[in-house]
Structure 1
Amino acid sequence: MQYILTGVLMLIISGLLLNAAALLIESVYKQVKEMQLKKKPL
């Protein structure tokens, strides 16, 4: 029983970490795109 609980906890933690990493990458990507747009005068 203990192994199952720890496995579920690890799955939840890894899922949250992946979600946080995805959000971070998305925000950084948006910032880089905005900077590139500002550098190039259209």
Structure 2
Amino acid sequence: MSRLDGTGAEKRLPQETHTDKALQLQCLLLLSEVYRWRRK
């Protein structure tokens, strides 16, 4: 996963990058849940 996304993640520590990815995934899941809930 050495993809350059322009956020400077490649310059940070691997642990921080891993945490960032986990947080992004959580946010996406939460947003999708809220989106589905609001569409009902």
Structure 2 residue 16 is the aligned partner of structure 1 residue 32 = no
Give 4+ residue runs of structure 1 displaced > 3 Å after superposition: none
Percent identical among aligned pairs is 17
Structure (1 or 2) with the greater helix fraction = 1
Higher relative contact order (CA 8 A, sep 6+): 2
Q: Which has the larger radius of gyration?
A: 1
Please tell me the root mean square deviation across aligned C-alpha atoms, in Å: 1.2
Q: Structure 1: give runs of 5+ residues left out of the alignment.
A: 1-9
